[in-house]
Amino acid sequence: MESKRNYVAADSHPMNGGEGPYIYVQNSKYQTGAVEASKEMIEEAITKHFDANKTLNSASSLNQIFLADLGCSTGPNTFLAVQNIFEVIQLKYQLEKRRHLDHSDDHVHQIPVTFQVFFNDHFSNDFNTLFKSLPPTRKYLAAGVPGSFHGRLFPNSSLHFVHCSYSLHWLSKVPSQVMDSTSPAWNKGRIHYTNAGKEVVKAYSDQYAEDMLSFLHARAEELVVGGLMVLLIPAVPDILLPSDTTNGTEKDLLGSCLVDMAKMGLVSEKRVDSFNLPMYYSSPSELKAIIERNEHFSIERMEKLNNPKKHLSLPNLQMRVLYLRAALEGLLQKRFGAEIMDELFNRFSKKVAESTFFLNPQNQNSIVLFVLLRRNPN
């Protein structure tokens, strides 16, 4: 027996837990929209690509489906996504059962199917809240799996379906070069690669590729052959610069607020210079090229998620500020202290309101990619 694992600790950046106006649960409506928008696509994915008989280990005769939601946070979006997958697979089974009703020796359809769902997020995630929020009427067994999804989380060939929503744009760490004052990629005066030099952008995109490849490598070992993976990934359209996008521009504005506060002596300039957000938004073509470097997956579908309720979920700029605060406050507090958060987000709120970029609705161009991968035979 060899010890073959490395449980590398990746940086964690939990969404705001607990209670209050800035917590993630209160400000995750935007993701809820994406979960709803992806519902039909997931249904189609399962109907078309999930071959229950072949995918399940028929040797074990146990008819058990193992499902994982990676980067689950504390709910409720994870429960919506899981419930949808659960129901569709269940329906598919019932249909097949009908079809095979006359084959009395067909043992696969005589045993009821049971579901085990693994909820994964970083060690610092609020699993207590997650567990207490588990829907009491659920028809699946639930477990929490703490740890970084850039490393191994599950046994070999143990999962049939993986779901990962709004998580893969988080990097496992800030690329070291952008914090190194001797490097050409030093990102002085900014907290993100938007509007930065090409060395900074390259350091970020290299880190993204490395993280995505680690993720795919680990999942390739954990998914059974024929297993499916649905990824919802915030991204940017192929032809746009980061500064042409909402995601890029808002981070740039937030950074400029910190720079302003540093000039006024409210935060340390050194701290601002060495602080960078570990988030990257790839383009569809960039992401496709990375996925294709892993030979164990075939891309069954990859397209822009059509979220018709997008404008409803973040109806105004104030909501967008709240949403960003819920997502980033934990990270910012750790670096700059809780006491400057109100000041920082008040300033940010003003800049967003005055920004010509945000005034033009045409510029609200964040996209989310729906990616369906299938585990190939080895």
Q: Taking CB under 8 A as the rule, does residue 43 contact its own copies? A: no
Q: Taking CB under 8 A as the rule, does residue 155 contact its own copies? A: yes
Phi then psi for residue 191, to 5 deg, are: -120, 10
- Residue 7 C-beta: closest distance to its own copies, Å: 7
147 dihedral zone (left: phi>0; alpha: psi -120 to 50; beta): left
Selected binder of its own copies within 29, 43, 93, 340 (CB under 8 A): 93
Query: Tokens 């979920």 correspond to what residue?
Result: 313
Question: Which span sits near its own copies by CB under 8 A: 2-10, 171-179, 255-263, 349-357?
Answer: 2-10
- Residue 117 C-beta: closest distance to its own copies, Å: 11
Q: Smallest Cα–Cα separation from 201: which of 154, 242, 159?
A: 242
- Residue 132 C-beta: closest distance to its own copies, Å: 6
Query: Tokens 């935060």 correspond to what residue?
Result: 267
Q: Taking CB under 8 A as the rule, does residue 98 contact its own copies? A: no
**Amino acid sitting at position 220:** A
Residue 98's Cβ-count burial label (10 Å; 0-12, 13-18, 19+) is exposed
Helix axes 317-336, 341-354, angle to 10 degrees: 140
Q: Taking CB under 8 A as the rule, does residue 345 contact its own copies? A: no
Q: Is the peptide bond before 76 cis (omega within 30 degrees of 0)?
A: yes
The set of residues, in sequence order, having a beta carbon less than 8 Å from that of 294 and lying 6+ positions away, is: 213, 216, 217, 220
Selected binder of its own copies within 53, 57, 243, 306 (CB under 8 A): 57
Q: Around Cβ 297, how many Cβ atoms within 10 Å?
A: 20
- Residue 223 C-beta: closest distance to its own copies, Å: 13
- Residue 232 C-beta: closest distance to its own copies, Å: 23
Please, which residue, 90 or 364, has the CB nearer to its own copies?
Answer: 90
Number of amino acids touching its own copies (CB under 8 A): 46
Q: Taking CB under 8 A as the rule, does residue 9 contact its own copies? A: yes
The pairing of strands 114-121 and 64-70 is: parallel
- Residue 131 C-beta: closest distance to its own copies, Å: 4
Selected binder of its own copies within 32, 64, 363, 364 (CB under 8 A): 64
Give the CA angle between residues 72, 77, 78 to the nearest 5°: 40
Selected binder of its own copies within 132, 188, 270, 304 (CB under 8 A): 132
Q: Give yes or no for a contact between 110 and 87, defined as CB atoms under 8 angstroms apart.
A: no
Selected binder of its own copies within 29, 41, 83, 146 (CB under 8 A): 146
Q: Taking CB under 8 A as the rule, does residue 144 contact its own copies? A: yes
Please, which residue, 18 or 237, has the CB nearer to its own copies?
Answer: 18
Q: Give yes or no for a contact between 199 and 185, defined as CB atoms under 8 angstroms apart.
A: yes
Q: Taking CB under 8 A as the rule, does residue 377 contact its own copies? A: no
Tokens coding 297 = 């997956």
Mask for 108-127, x = binds its own copies (CB under 8 A)? ----xxx-x-x----xx-xx
Q: Give yes or no for a contact between 34 and 368, defined as CB atoms under 8 angstroms apart.
A: yes
The residues of the shown chain that bind its own copies, judged by CB under 8 A, are 1-5, 7, 9, 57, 59-60, 62, 64, 90, 93-94, 97, 112-114, 116, 118, 123-124, 126-128, 131-132, 134, 136, 138-139, 141-147, 152-158
